Structure 1
Amino acid sequence: MPVTPSGSTPLTDRRLSPYALDAANTLGRRVPEPASRTRTAFARDRDRIIHSTAFRRLKEKTQVFVAHEGDHYRTRLTHSLEVAQIARSLAHALRLDTDLAEAVALAHDLGHPPFGHAGEDELQACMAPWGGFDHNVQTFRVITRLEERYPDFLGLNLSWETLEAVIKHNGPVDGMLDRPSWKPVAEFSKDWDLRLDSFASLEAQVAAIADDIAYNNHDVDDGVQAGLFTLEDLMEVPLIGPILKGTRDDWPDLDARMIRLEAVRRMIGAMIEDVLAETGRRLKADGIETVEDVRTAKRMLVAFSPDMLADLGALRRFLFTRMYRHYRVNRTRSQARRILSEMFQLFLAEPDILPPEWAERASSGDPARRARAVCDYIAGMTDRYAIEEHRKLFTLDLALDL
């Protein structure tokens, strides 16, 4: 029977670990609300994220490929769903709160602009004189301010533990607070202390490593489908190469598509098992017994083993060379950056051509506030909407196509 890393408790036993967060002991919401009769606080947070406008827009925001390039490539939405599935599996095995792990996984990419990292790089360049841009901070602003769905508050009014997890899932962030782009987080925490100098919960750490597992695997899958490299090219790459060989040995007559899918499935499984084993070792070695022990630990506790990290490093170097910097991807990145740069400069100079609700936000005489409003408008766009908006703005014979 499958066991937790401690080797003692069956997965069917749903008692939480002593170092898991308990929704019954939440520190609450910034704007107090009555508790739900049907959901825990963390399940309610997850549902609010799913129902948010920013979450729906992820369906046409890119990972590596622009969303219109093919129906089978991952988008931010499909990626987030895959991360959530892996996070729930890890949280279940570790006897953590699965709803919180899932909520963080579903929220972690809400602040990404269109066109993936190319879009983030361009908005950072455009916003350099006015406080910069960081997708993690933008995610935080989305859930605390930019979503407007409730009459009593801006944002989603998520529980303290979910907010802490979203902004700190990769570790303490106090070292980033002197960056202009992190000012909104610093100011929020002054009013409602998120303990930015400590580690977040194990549920947050599970979501963070689930992100790594998901994108490494789906980038292999998407890269092969896109023809950027082949299964044969992967045979000499650590981790995926031996798994491909094992899959072919087990299924010598299987076609290439099914070999690819089975190998990716096995690689996800291998990475999950590695995380569970390494996390169990760290929890024991560091004497972790309580939630506070997790927050005051000297290192991330949910982690890959050194051997797995070495293999992943080799895989990422392969993907960087053969996929992320492939000339076809470079062309898309170049186009994406020009689209966002040209729109940003135009909206900054002529805010009256923005949609009315955004034109009002950008009407401030303060250049920084105007730039931030323009940035928020562009960051919320999907790939498809950004391409279409740019076409309307810069193609003369279609200028009246509103």
Structure 2
Amino acid sequence: MMQWNKLLTRQRLGKPRPEKPEDARTSFQRDYDRLVFSSPFRRLKDKTQVFSLAKNDYIRTRLIHSLEVSCVGRSLGTIVGYEIKERHRLDEFTASDFGDIVAAACLAHDIGNPPFGHAGEDAIRSGFKSWHETVKEQLIDHEKVDLEFFEGNAQGFRILTRLEMQARTGGMQLTCPTLATFTKYPRELLISEEILNNYKGKSAKKYGFFQAEKNLFATVADTVGLIRRSPEVAWWSRHPLAFLVEAADDISYHIVDLEDGYRMGYISFKKAKKLLNEIAKSPNLEKNAHTKEEQIKFLRAVAINNLVQEVATIFLDHEQELLAGTFDSDLISLTSYAETLNCIQSKTRKKVFNHPEVVGIQVAGYEVIGHLFAEFVNANLYSTEKGKLLKLILPKEYCLGDNESSYGKILKITDYISGMTDSYATTLFQELKGISLR
């Protein structure tokens, strides 16, 4: 069984001993503040949530989405924290510690996403899969699959623990509870199909760290006392609070994507109102909001609150299974609103994600990121005249010497590309293509 005292340790990654409590800010509040002031977090303001480069100022960016998820996560964490503190007599901690850990992890949950969302991830994966076999032969299997199946979650862990504040062991040196809660998929990628096929849990769906950061995650897992699922591979159970991060994200994008779809004109007011009110259950809607926009905003707020309350109850009902590592389902699928949420997801996929305008931008993003990835990897791996010119554009921290491994060189380019904003990637692509000149 995992123990809350260890799961909530104030130990920071890269520090020799746990941090002493402070009167002004707790360790977990400091995590939150470090994230807010970090460059990768600020760049989320110009990264795709659903609508890339949207001209409608109301529509959410990845930055706004992360802030909203963080608000939902703080509520979830604080609610369960009050009860767990009483159940286990956790005198050292407060309910707000739970909320602050979840809020910080939620704030960072998309920090590793490349430009243009999932289209950017797919472009990096495809770019490497089509790469020269001579390069692939220089990589061991674990390194090869990291690049063939590039994952934004693993890139996020790399940013938090290595790329930001590179001179320090542990990077941003966030607390181990925040890093463990951030990691929804606490496993490496290369695990045999036989093992994975015998395990149906949600946390095995993706992977959460590259080979380059495997030892860093192992330190995090050991520090907070995660249960190891296999002695043969790097694979652990989730930190229980990671389920609240997942739920906060699920609640936010289900409800908010529907609202944004309405604001963009892809989903009718009648349909959006009906679906939201199946969760909000507000009989006196017109008394609280007069215009259509106000009604949708009101229903969105009430729906999120109802989901938060029920998810917190479900978490507490399954606390012992969570601590034992035997619970591994997404919490919202167990709510009484699961069927409605599935309907919302189906509607937004059909009317929003598959809308020609949205798909067109995704295709363009795929081309932009794929081209940039190929060009800069070429420049880092091969000494050509064009490559020499591209290296003059490439920031120095991404240019590696000849003695660096091919894995390291390619990983540095994924750092560069995935850290770009949508606008920067588009502008750079146009310049390299000769479409526009400075």
TM-score tier (shorter): 0.7 to 0.9
Distance change >3 Å, CA 247–CA 364, structure 1 → 2: farther
Amino acid at match of 1:390: F
Q: Tell me the SS of whatever aligns to 2:16.
A: coil
Q: 1:138 aligns with which of 141, 155, 159?
A: 155
Q: Tell me the SS of whatever aligns to 1:295.
A: helix
1:197-208 to 2 correspondences below 5 Å: 197=229, 198-208=236-246
Q: Structure 2: which 5+ runs fail to align?
A: 82-94, 130-135, 137-143, 193-206, 230-235, 381-387
Corresponding residue for residue 120 of structure 2: 119
Corresponding residue for residue 211 of structure 2: 183
Contact 1:144 1:156 in 2 (8 A): yes
- Distance in 2 between residues matched to 1:375 and 1:362, nearest whole Å: 17
1:256-275 to 2 correspondences below 5 Å: 256-275=292-311
1:1-400 to 2 correspondences below 5 Å: 25-32=9-16, 35=20, 37=22, 38-95=24-81, 96=95, 97-128=98-129, 130=144, 131-132=146-147, 133-148=150-165, 151-153=167-169, 155-167=171-183, 169=184, 172-173=186-187, 182-190=210-218, 193-194=221-222, 195=226, 197=229, 198-234=236-272, 239-240=275-276, 242=278, 246=282, 250-251=286-287, 254-283=290-319, 288=320, 294-300=322-328, 303-304=331-332, 305-351=334-380, 352=388, 353=390, 354-361=393-400, 366-395=405-434, 398=437
- Distance in 1 between residues matched to 2:9 and 2:208, nearest whole Å: 34
Contact 1:348 1:374 in 2 (8 A): yes
Contact 2:188 2:211 in 1 (8 A): no
Amino acid at match of 2:263: Q
Moved more, 193-202 or 210-219: 193-202
- Distance in 2 between residues matched to 1:397 and 1:182, nearest whole Å: 36
Distance change >3 Å, CA 356–CA 71, structure 1 → 2: same
Distance change >3 Å, CA 162–CA 337, structure 1 → 2: same
Contact 2:155 2:210 in 1 (8 A): no
Amino acid at match of 2:162: R
Contact 2:279 2:340 in 1 (8 A): no
Distance change >3 Å, CA 69–CA 20, structure 1 → 2: farther
Distance change >3 Å, CA 32–CA 253, structure 1 → 2: closer
Moved more, 262-271 or 108-117: 262-271
Distance change >3 Å, CA 256–CA 186, structure 1 → 2: same
1:89-126 Cα shifts (integer Å, max 9, x gaps):
11121124221111111111110001111111211222
1:17-67 Cα shifts (integer Å, max 9, x gaps):
x97557974344323376464432222222222221111111111101113
- Distance in 2 between residues matched to 1:188 and 1:390, nearest whole Å: 34
- Distance in 2 between residues matched to 1:205 and 1:359, nearest whole Å: 35
Distance change >3 Å, CA 298–CA 359, structure 1 → 2: closer
- Distance in 1 between residues matched to 2:406 and 2:168, nearest whole Å: 29
Distance change >3 Å, CA 227–CA 307, structure 1 → 2: same
1:68 Cα deviation after fit:
4.5
Contact 1:23 1:40 in 2 (8 A): no
Contact 1:20 1:203 in 2 (8 A): no
- Distance in 1 between residues matched to 2:322 and 2:3, nearest whole Å: 7
RMSD: 3.1
Distance change >3 Å, CA 299–CA 223, structure 1 → 2: same
1:181 Cα deviation after fit:
7.0
Quote the sequence identity (%). 25
TM-score, normalized by length of structure 1? 0.81
Distance change >3 Å, CA 39–CA 188, structure 1 → 2: same
Task: Give the number of equivalent residue pairs.
Answer: 369
1:200-244 Cα shifts (integer Å, max 9, x gaps):
3343322221111111111011111111111223366xx425358
Contact 1:362 1:373 in 2 (8 A): no
Moved more, 23-32 or 70-79: 23-32
Contact 1:126 1:344 in 2 (8 A): yes
- Distance in 1 between residues matched to 2:250 and 2:190, nearest whole Å: 21
Amino acid at match of 1:230: S
Q: Structure 1: which 5+ runs fail to align?
A: 1-17
- Distance in 2 between residues matched to 1:192 and 1:90, nearest whole Å: 23
TM-score, normalized by length of structure 2? 0.75
- Distance in 2 between residues matched to 1:140 and 1:253, nearest whole Å: 42
Amino acid at match of 1:335: A
Moved more, 273-282 or 53-62: 273-282
- Distance in 2 between residues matched to 1:252 and 1:31, nearest whole Å: 51
Contact 1:362 1:369 in 2 (8 A): no
